[in-house]
Amino acid sequence: ETGVTQTPRHLVMGMTNKKSLKCEQHLGHNAMYWYKQSAKKPLELMFVYNFKEQTENNSVPSRFSPECPNSSHLFLHLHTLQPEDSALYLCASSPHVGNTEAFFGQGTRLTVV
Amino acid sequence: SQQGEEDPQALSIQEGENATMNCSYKTSINNLQWYRQNSGRGLVHLILIRSNEREKHSGRLRVTLDTSKKSSSLLITASRAADTASYFCATNGGETSGSRLTFGEGTQLTVNP
């Protein structure tokens, strides 16, 4: 256990559905991240939050909408996704945004049908 | 542009042998980190080496960093079947990446019993 918990672990959704991914960390970290991991591709950083404020949006389509109500919780709201959005979505946290290690959750395996 | 690139993409060895994985990167860094990922799971941080360090050890892991060649290597000694996983290098800092972690595509290590 890394102290970062993601739910659900698996999600199958249709292209017209709306769903949300949840991430929670109990490490007292101030920075949280969403990454996308597709087959045969490097991890792609999607969003960065520092002290609940979004500090980076890596040109992510608007059908992905992040929300960070506090430093311990991070959500990724999904709507009208495409089949190519199927991937492993990983949440991570770190003490602060900077030169420190990241702690990852187990990921949500998303399949868009 | 992609920062960390691991080599080889796949490595298969026998239990007890040593495994060496290499990582090259393009721009200056503040530190380089190695992560491990079991199939379909989250990433686990293994070791962080700072740009002013040349070598670091942690248990059976040995990491080297050559900033003049912009390369790093991860050595796992006396490998075990449980070491089977994907291994990623990630660079942190530098002119183009700022404070974000930029991952390579990973090396898939298989340790045969």
Q: What is the pLDDT of residue A99?
A: 67
**What is the CA A46 to chain-centroid distance, rounded?**
7
Q: Which chain A positions have a beta carbon within 8 Å of B46's beta carbon?
A: none
Tell me which residue of B91, B80, B69, B90 sits closest to B19, measured CA to CA: B80
Rounded to the nearest angstrom, the minimum Cα separation between B104 and chain A is: 5
Rounded to the nearest angstrom, the minimum Cα separation between A59 and chain B is: 15
Whether residue B103 and residue A105 make contact (CB cut-off 8 A), yes or no, is no
> pLDDT per residue over B67-100, tens digit each?
999 999 999 999 999 999 999 999 987 544 555 7
B72 — phi, psi (to 5°)?
A: -140, 155
DSSP string of B33-102? EEEEE-TTS-EEEEEEEETT-SEEEETTEEEEEETTTTEEEEEE-S--GGG-EEEEEEEE-STTTTT-EE
**Closest chain A residue to B48 measured between Cα atoms?**
A101
Residue A99, chain B, CB below 8 Å: the answer is yes
Count of A–B CB contacts within 8 Å?
55
Rounded to the nearest angstrom, the minimum Cα separation between A79 and chain B is: 23
Beta bridge partners of B6: B23
> pLDDT per residue over A97-111, tens digit each?
876 889 999 999 999
Distance in angstroms (rounded) separating the CA atoms of residues A107 and A88: 6
Residues within 8 A of B (CB atoms), A 34-53 only: 40-43, 45, 48
- What whole-number percentage of chain B has pLDDT above 90? 73
Tell me which residue of A69, A14, A40, A106 sits closest to B37, measured CA to CA: A106
B15 — phi, psi (to 5°)?
A: -55, 135
Q: What is the pLDDT of residue B40?
A: 82
HSE at residue A30, side-chain half, CA atoms within 13 A, is 9
What would the two tokens of residue B72 be?
A: 């790093």
The stretches in chain A having pLDDT less than 70 are 99
